[in-house]
Structure 1
Amino acid sequence: MARLASPLLLGECAVRAPQNKPAQRLPMVNPSLNETLRGTAATNWLQIATLIETLLRSVELLTVEIEYEEVRVGVRDLSDPTYSVLARRLRARKDNIRATIVSLEMLDQEAPKAA
């Protein structure tokens, strides 16, 4: 029964715990934080610009593929029931990519205001 009288079982540990807590410290101010944020913003801007360029190239390629498909089928009118299903899907994809480009350009324009 001597073991049951240990400090852990009697709750003495809970009484001592606050005494063993390290003092709370204020967070250190990072003098290079602004530089880090500027560097991150520059990296993000570069990534966005690169992504926009890549997407613009994709739009160009899709335009060529759509034109090829329209010539192959011989129908260029979207309202024609015999218009190529592939060309129609490629057009939808191209429109989605253009919308993404517009969103990224808006994001890119807002970025300098935040910095």
Structure 2
Amino acid sequence: MQPASRFDTTFLHLDALISDLQWRIQMLDADIREEEDKAGNADPGSATYSMLAQTMRTRRDNLRASIALLEDRLPADHAQAA
């Protein structure tokens, strides 16, 4: 059995990081829905929208941007296999 190359382990680490960030997005989505239900307002454009929900939305959007940047670092054939 051949040991994994540094190249392969780098992409395995990127895959793991992307998976973790996607899981965190799912958790944030659930937390946002819960906060919106609690506040009784699911309209981010509303002046009375929960500041906590807005902060979590911003965090979620930043994580999505991070995932996109990380996915750009993966080779095209690797991204298709995932």
TM-score w.r.t. length of structure 2 = 0.86
Give the aligned partner of residue 103 of structure 1.
69
User: What is the CA RMSD across the aligned residues, in angstroms?
Assistant: 2.0
Query: 5+ residue gaps in structure 1?
Result: 1-35
Give the letter aligned to residue 49 of structure 1: D
Q: Which has the higher contact order (CA 8 A, sep 6+)?
A: 2
Structure-to-structure mapping, 1:63-74, within 5 angstroms: 63-74=29-40
How far apart, in 2, do the equivalents of 1:89 and 1:47 lie? Answer: 28
* Deviation, structure 1 residue 111: 9.1
Q: Does 1:91 align with 2:47?
A: no
Give the letter aligned to residue 33 of structure 2: E
Q: Secondary structure at the match of 2:75?
A: helix
TM-score w.r.t. length of structure 1 = 0.62
Give the letter aligned to residue 51 of structure 2: V
* Deviation, structure 1 residue 56: 0.2
> Which of 18, 32, 48 does residue 14 from structure 2 map onto?
48
Query: 5+ residue gaps in structure 2?
Result: none
Q: Secondary structure at the match of 2:43?
A: coil
Percentage of matched positions with identical amino acids = 33
* Deviation, structure 1 residue 109: 2.5
Q: Deviations over 1:18-71 (max 9, x none)?
A: xxxxxxxxxxxxxxxxxx9x7011010000000000000000000000000000
Structure 1 stretches of at least 4 aligned residues deviating more than 3 Å after TM superposition: none
* Deviation, structure 1 residue 79: 1.1
Give the letter aligned to residue 58 of structure 2: A
Greater C-alpha Rg: 1
Q: Does 1:80 align with 2:52?
A: no
